[in-house]
């Protein structure tokens, strides 16, 4: 069976399900994977890279194997398309991302600063206890940018490359990076492999996200030249090789400057400045969410159309 068009149809169907249903409030498969990964960490944790590598590879490989087991026996194109759609819906989070941004915008517009600080944890792990409205607006815009790649374009990219196994493996890698991939005394060595896997998995998706952001900058009142300039000039300054291009392109597209001081788990970091113009304001949050939605739609169109075309031209 040619798996090209059923996979493409399933990816489109999964995006449609995400638009209609967003993430399930209970029993989310990613949350279940996170709970499994946490239990596994308790059993195998050692302050060493080999232990962390075994942990990351076992969980990622297990996720890919599950995807293969679910999809390989499907002989009918409709069955594969349906399975791909369900898997895509399970791992894509674009609608929830935009809803969280809208909630942050509403809370900040209502001057409910304490609620906005608490709500930021739904978007990122940085310490919000001391952030003012401008800091919360900046954190929201940066999180929308980075998660457009991580929660939408990345899964679609790997779904197009490797079908259901690619979808599940990518989400496993991204989840493990969020859990153990950050630099800290506990995870500096154990989380090294998870972080490097995430870097590799996002090389393609992040550049695709930055490219689409650049092309779509005029749809939110920006300029392609400004997005391109910020991406090329500032993308490499960021400590993350993949978040940098995406956040820089968003900064340029919105005509704003991202970066600066932030705090994670009591550790203060000074991030390089990305883009030109003033810092983001509350009103830039809906613009960032609109840009994210358009990038997601464009990425969906690409991953649906390109793989079957490539197979046809072979």
Q: Is residue 202 within 8 Å of residue 169, measured between CB atoms? A: no
Check residues 269 and 310 and name the one with the higher pLDDT.
269
Tell me, what's the pLDDT at 2? 63
Angle made by CA atoms 200, 306, 231, in degrees to the nearest 5: 50
3-class DSSP state for residue 268?
strand
* Distance of alpha carbon 139 from alpha carbon 137, whole angstroms: 5
3-class DSSP state for residue 127?
coil
Both tokens assigned to 19 = 């638009």
Tell me, what's the pLDDT at 68? 95
Task: Please state, as a whole number, how many other Cβ atoms lie within 10 Å of the Cβ of residue 78.
Answer: 11
Strands 257-264 and 267-275: antiparallel
* Distance of alpha carbon 257 from alpha carbon 214, whole angstroms: 15
How confident is residue 304, by pLDDT bands cut at 50, 70 and 90?
confident
What is the dihedral sign for C-alpha 305, 307, 311, 314? Answer: positive
How confident is residue 129, by pLDDT bands cut at 50, 70 and 90?
confident
Both tokens assigned to 131 = 């952030």
- Map out the domains of the chain as residue ranges: 4-313
Q: pLDDT tens digits, residue range 65-75? A: 999 999 988 87
Q: pLDDT tens digits, residue range 163-205? A: 999 999 999 999 999 999 987 889 999 999 999 999 999 999 9
Check residues 313 and 28 and name the one with the higher pLDDT.
28
Q: pLDDT tens digits, residue range 223-276? A: 999 999 999 999 999 999 999 999 999 999 999 999 998 877 667 778 899 999
Q: pLDDT tens digits, residue range 29-46? A: 999 999 999 999 999 999
Please tell me the pTM assigned to this model.
0.94
Q: Is residue 268 within 8 Å of residue 260, measured between CB atoms? A: no
Helices (H) and strands (E) in the chain, counts: 14, 2
């Amino acid at each position: 069976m040619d798996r090209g068009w059923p996979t493409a149809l399933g990816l489109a169907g999964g995006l449609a399900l995400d638009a209609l249903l967003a993430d399930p409030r209970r029993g989310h498969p990613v949350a279940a994977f996170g709970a499994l990964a946490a239990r596994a960490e308790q059993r195998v944790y050692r302050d060493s890279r080999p232990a962390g590598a075994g942990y990351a590879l076992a969980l990622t490989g297990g996720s890919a194997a599950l995807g293969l087991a679910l999809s390989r026996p499907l002989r009918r194109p409709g069955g594969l398309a349906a399975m791909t759609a369900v898997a895509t819906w399970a791992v894509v989070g674009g609608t929830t991302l935009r809803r969280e941004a809208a909630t942050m915008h509403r809370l900040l517009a209502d001057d409910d600063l304490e609620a906005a600080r608490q709500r930021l944890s739904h978007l990122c792990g940085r310490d919000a206890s001391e952030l003012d409205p401008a800091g919360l607006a900046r954190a929201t815009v940066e999180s929308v940018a980075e998660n457009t790649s991580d929660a939408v374009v990345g899964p679609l990219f790997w779904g197009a490359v490797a079908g259901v196994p690619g979808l599940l493996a990518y989400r496993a890698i991204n989840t493990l990076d969020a859990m153990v991939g950050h630099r800290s005394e506990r995870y500096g060595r154990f989380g090294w492999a998870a972080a490097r896997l995430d870097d590799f998995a996002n090389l393609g998706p992040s550049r695709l996200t930055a490219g689409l952001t650049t092309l779509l900058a005029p749809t939110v009142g920006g300029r392609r030249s400004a997005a391109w300039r910020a991406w090329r000039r500032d993308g490499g300054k960021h400590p993350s090789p993949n978040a940098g291009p995406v956040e820089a392109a968003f900064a340029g597209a919105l005509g704003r400057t991202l970066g600066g001081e932030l705090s994670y788990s009591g550790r203060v970091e000074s991030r390089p400045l990305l883009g030109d113009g003033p810092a983001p304001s509350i009103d830039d949050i809906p613009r960032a969410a609109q840009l994210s939605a358009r990038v997601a739609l464009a990425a969906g169109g690409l991953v649906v159309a390109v793989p079957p075309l490539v197979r046809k031209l072979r």
